[in-house]
Structure 1
Amino acid sequence: MQALVYTLIALSAAGVGATAYFGLTFTPAEAILAAVVFGCVCVVLMERTLRQRAENRLEKAIEDLSRLLATDAQAGAVLGQRINAMADVNADLRLEGVEADISVLGTVIRQVAEAVAEIEDRVAKPQPAGRERMISATPPPAPVRETEPVIPVETLRQAMADNRLVYHIQPVVTLPQRRPQGYDLVPRLMLEDGDLADQDDFMPRRSGQDGRGGADLLRQIEGIGLAEAITICRRARSSGQPIKLYIPLSRATLGDSVAAEQLLASLEANRVIAEGLTFSIAEADWQSLSTPERAIAAAVAKKGAGFSILNVKSLRVDVAELASQSVRSLRIDAARFIESPETYTDFHASDIADYLARFEVVLLATGIANERQIIELLDDGIALVQGPYIAGPGPVRPDLVVETGRAPRQQLRRAEI
């Protein structure tokens, strides 16, 4: 295209020279000069036009490139945000949840298949003897009425006035190493002849707000236990070996404004050790808490302490709700769970502990009486146990030396820290 333009310029210059020579009577030299000047001027104008056009194209290309770079930078920022979001996602936890759900689903399918097969064979075959590992939807048994304590309330008042209440500890151990995970604070009453009475023999069963039910004695006993627990935890922490203590608690304390205020004040003043304090409350008391009492329990949880539900009769509960209320463990009777797991849950016996662990709630088996029960519980995935076979209640040593390693059986049976 440029060659054609330059050809036309040359022809135009020749035409101008011929016009100047023939029409304007220029001399040959002047006509040639006029043609050359005209051609140069045309070439300069043409080059200037071409350069402006090239510059415009270059500017447009630069603008397009800038827009592309800005788009790439924005896409890179979005990609970086997505990568950061993916990096913050705890994939392992989600995978564990999915695996647990798949395991539970597989267990349910297996239960349905075995239940159908059992129904088909029920007429022809008798029920097998021994422990049935598959759990049915049998409703929980009716609650057993508790007996009154052997020691009357008046005798207990006199013993409290004589300062004959002592607190011992009973270890809660983890399987299979049998290392102490924590210690139950167990109230015991020193009798006049020097013997020690267990809490079942003197603890009031009723927690009414009047003195006749023993609510005032319960509040006094639990207040002493809290002070004892704080002292033990502070000394153990000072020695560099912090421990966990389970402290008895009832509606008698939660339902009394003065006792509840003292409880919260003690926890507020000892926030540094509050994480090591867990309040043990009976299932009946926990389920019957009134709205003000639940508010006190929520305030206790905000201070850092937790709860352990005692004498759980059924695990058919909303575990997520319990976890949100700072419930850390559910205590079941080991013998009843081993012999009749269907009274606790519709899950398979080996899956219920893992299901509770998803919500950071631990299943704790109490009343261990022999080695066979420990083996059965290990098969079911229950790692926290307590009972007379492990260790009975024992006094707290004054120096509060805590053994963090594997404790020998003799030391556990003395239940000394």
Structure 2
Amino acid sequence: MTPTSRRPAGGSSAGRVAFSLAALLGSGLCLVVAFLAAPALAVAAGLGLGAALVSGTVAVLALRRARRLAVQAETLSGELDALSQRLLALERRAAEAAPAVPAPVPAADPRLVEGLSEVTAEIGLLGGIVRELAVAVAAQDDELTRLKAAPPPRPAPPVPPPAAVAPPPPAILPRDGAVPRRFVPEPALPPLVPGAGRRAEAEARRDGDILDALDGGLEVHLQPVVSLPQRKVAFYEALARLRLGEERFVPAEFMPVLERHGRTTELDRLMLARVTAVSRHLAVRGSDAAVAYALSPHSLFEPGFLRAVGRLVELHPELAGRLILALPQRSWRTLDAEQAGALAALRERIGLALDRAIDLRLDPAALAARGVGHAKVGVELLLREAGRGAEDLVAAFARSGVRLVAEGVEREADVPDLIDLDLPLAQGSVFSPPRIVRPEVLSPPAAAEPEPAPPPGDDPAPARRPFRDFLRRAV
């Protein structure tokens, strides 16, 4: 074979070898890429599976909690049915015990009244628990609905194969060769409020003025509670005012200050002493009107405060039936055993009232069982609920013997609406604003010096009194 015939064969063999090497290199590169991308794909799949497991676990826990709350609701409903059956049995017993022929109504059986009060209190407590449980179950249902409607979590996108990362540039060192220190920013200071220091100083000065006024500037103002529609005075309410110089503080201004400094009980003691003097003055003048005073809630937790009130009535027997202590609605709802016992010991000698009502969720029978004779409710609250149960509440109070008082009547146009509601009592500036009690009424009576006897044989001339003496007889 000639040399010219061997060259094509050699050329084709070299081409096949080159093609084989290229194929081997391509396969190796694909294997390397697949090996590097496999962990990233595994991590992405794991994240998606974990998110699905977490959402499923949350849904299962929420469903179990909803079922547990539903079981509790059924249990409470059963207890409520049992209490309702007890109440119906008691009412049936009371109806059977009532005489068929109309006769004078005898005194109610104390055990029956106590049983009805306990059942009513338990029903009210269970009703509140059932309402709270219903709200919780509704919230759980909303959460389950939201979880079911939410779309499943999307899997994380696959991570592309890592590319070659360029090495970080070398750190630039200072010329002296020292390692550069890392910059740490200082914590930011709170922004300065312009005038904050002056405002705090003014508040401190005002607190000091109020405390100074409590020490020497306590005034007593009386505002009558009148009957409707006659507008005749039923009793008075004693209101505290603090005066320092020409400035006079009302309870909305000084009560928060006294609460911060823990001196509300001191105010109640000073006011009770002055209310005692006013009641005695009214008794001397021949008036049968009582005087009411609203205690601070903090005084109820003062050890021995209510027992001290009992001793005050023992020292002044003429106060029996002439003193009324009013407690806020929140205090009547949170009385402990000791406070309830102390009030039960006082109810035979003084009157009790409910004051500062925040809603109309009142139980007239339970209040009457505790000795409450009056309940004061804001006129805005009464008129707002007119037509939505206020008439039934007024009738329930009348049946229980508790007299309802509409306080804060400032407009003459509200008086006919209150009369339409058959409200027995009302209080407000429309009838009379609070009037200050003269200092000589609050001071103890001084011993009168005996007048010299007229000389015998001379007829004493009638003393002439100025017209101002007649005007000073008003309280």
Task: Using structure 1 for the length normalisation, give the TM-score.
Answer: 0.54
One-letter code of the match for 2:217? R
What is residue 187 of structure 1 aligned with on the other side?
240
Q: Does 1:260 align with 2:312?
A: no
Aligned to 1:220: 266
Please tell me the residue identity of whatever aligns with 1:279.
Answer: L
Equivalent-residue separation in structure 2 for 1:203 and 1:150 (angstroms):
15
Match of 2:104 in 1: 90
**CA shift for structure 1 position 231:** 1.1
Q: CA RMSD in A?
A: 3.0
Equivalent-residue separation in structure 1 for 2:257 and 2:382 (angstroms):
25
Distance 1:298 1:204 in 2: 30
Deviations 1:99-142 (A, max 9, x none): xxxxxxxxxxxxxxxxxxxxxxxxxxxxxxxxxxxxxxxxxxxx
Residues 399-414 of structure 1: pairs in structure 2 closer than 5 A = none
**Partner Cα separation in structure 2 for residue 376 and residue 151 of structure 1:** 45
Cα deviations by residue, 1:361-406 (Å, 9 ceiling, x for unpaired) = 0111011111110000000101211112222111124687xxxxxx
Aligned to 2:409: 368
CA contact 1:151–1:202 (8 Å) conserved in 2: no
Long gaps (5+) in structure 2: 1-98, 109-202, 442-473
1:298 and 2:333 correspond: no
Specify every segment of 5 or more residues in structure 1 that has no aligned partner in the other structure, as ranges: 1-84, 95-148, 208-212, 401-415
1:313 equivalent in alignment to 2:358: yes
Which residue number corresponds to residue 289 of structure 1? 335
* TM-aligned CA distance change 1:198 to 1:381, over 3 Å: same
Distance 1:271 1:88, change over 3 A: farther
Q: 1:247-297, CA deviations, whole angstroms, 9 ceiling, x for partnerless residues?
A: 121232222124333222102222332212111221122222222222222
2:371: which partner in 1? Answer: 326
With a CA cutoff of 8 Å and minimum separation of 6, indicate the structure with the bigger relative contact order.
1
Between 1:169-178 and 1:253-262, the stretch displaced more is: 253-262
User: 2:207·2:257 contact (CA, 8 Å) conserved in 1?
Assistant: no
What does residue range 234-273 of structure 1 map to in structure 2 within 5 Å?
A: 234-273=280-319
Which position in structure 1 is the counterpart of 2:419? 378
Q: Which position in structure 2 is the counterpart of 1:20?
A: none
Q: Deviations over 1:303-362 (max 9, x none)?
A: x112221121333332212112111111111123213337xxx63x33432221111101
| Alignment-mate amino acid for residue 308 of structure 1 | A
2:429 to 367, 388, 413: 388
How far is 1:158 from its partner? 2.1
Specify whether residues 247 and 392 from structure 1 end up closer, same or farther in structure 2 by C-alpha distance, changes over 3 A only. same
Q: 2:367, 2:257 → 1: CA distance?
A: 25
Once residues 151 and 271 of structure 1 are traced to their aligned partners in structure 2, the CA distance between those partners, rounded to angstroms, is: 43
1:156 aligns with 2:156: no
SS in 2 for 1:358: helix
Measured at CA, do residues 235 and 206 of structure 1 come closer, stay the same or move farther in structure 2, by a change above 3 Å?
closer
Aligned residues: 251
Q: Quote the Cα distance in structure 2 between the aligned partners of 1:350 and 1:86.
A: 30
**Corresponding residue number in structure 2 for 1:168:** 221
Alignment of 1:279 with 2:325, yes or no, is: yes
SS in structure 1 of the partner of residue 252 of structure 2: helix
Question: SS at 2:347's partner residue?
Answer: helix
Give yes or no for contact 1:363–1:384 (8 Å, CA) kept in 2.
Answer: yes
Distance 1:318 1:150, change over 3 A: farther
Letter in 1 for 2:344: A
Residue 242 of structure 2 contacts residue 250 of structure 2 at CA under 8 Å; is this kept in 1?
yes
Deviations along 1:230-259, whole A, 9 cap, x unmatched?
A: 111112212222221111212322221243
